[in-house]
Amino acid sequence: MGLVKSIVKWARIKSPWLLHFNTGACNACDIEIIAALTPYYDIERFGIQLKASPRHADVLVCSGPVTRQVKDRLVRIYEQMPEPKFVIAMGTCACSGGAFQGCYNVLGGIDTVLPVTAYIPGCPASPAALIDGIVKLLRSLQGSAPVGPVTQQVPQMPENPEEEAEEPAETA
């Protein structure tokens, strides 16, 4: 790999710029994305910045299912992004259609329209899950392996939390 390509790759990994697009979400996933940008989660420590223009963005973060109304706009925004570009599906609706699957106005998850690089499940998906998904995406960019779908795992709740809970320590 040439020096210029190495520098471009290094810069891309160190400063991925995001564009957020609500394709039909209930707004809860959007609030979580905004929370990830606040100083509490401080997503900018990874060099990640939110951008207003698709022409400046590397990663398109989509929340919600794809509605018929928004489909053409989503494709247009994606086409305006420079290569290489990546798409993150944020939340269960973006991953599969979620609670809106089967509605007359819903086409399905983001991957019914665009190639998705990272799936981040959850309803809503948490800021920590978004950060984890982005870090996994960046790791796959760092490696020599081609970028494939990255799935962020949601921790499973025990079937009976009371049985799983630790016994309280006995007091004398």
d(CA 138, CA 12): 9
Least separation, in Å, of the C-beta of 79 and ligand SF4? 24
Instruction: Pick the closer one to ligand SF4 by CB: 125 or 138.
Output: 125
Instruction: Pick the closer one to ligand SF4 by CB: 104 or 170.
Output: 104
Instruction: Pick the closer one to ligand SF4 by CB: 131 or 138.
Output: 131
Phi-psi region of 90 (alpha: psi -120 to 50; beta: other; left: phi over 0): beta
Size of the site for ligand SF4 (CB under 6 A): 13
Instruction: Pick the closer one to ligand SF4 by CB: 19 or 120.
Output: 120
Q: Are 16 and 59 in contact (CB under 8 A)?
A: yes
Burial 40-50 (b: 16+ CB within 10 A, else e): ebebeeeebeb
Window 58-77: residues binding ligand SF4 (CB under 6 A): 63-64
Least separation, in Å, of the C-beta of 27 and ligand SF4? 7
Stretch in the footprint of ligand SF4 (CB under 6 A) among 24-32, 66-74, 101-109, 143-151: 24-32
Instruction: Pick the closer one to ligand SF4 by CB: 23 or 117.
Output: 23
DSSP code string of 99-111: GGTT-TTEEESGG
Choose, by CB under 6 A, the member of 13, 99, 128, 154 that binds ligand SF4: 99
Distances (CA, A) of 161 to 20, 53, 134, 145, 156: 36, 45, 30, 39, 11
147 binds ligand SF4 per the rule CB under 6 A: no
Window 105-134: residues binding ligand SF4 (CB under 6 A): 123-124
Q: Are 145 and 132 in contact (CB under 8 A)?
A: no
- Catalog residues that contact ligand SF4 under the rule CB under 6 A: 25-26, 28-29, 63-64, 91-93, 98-99, 123-124
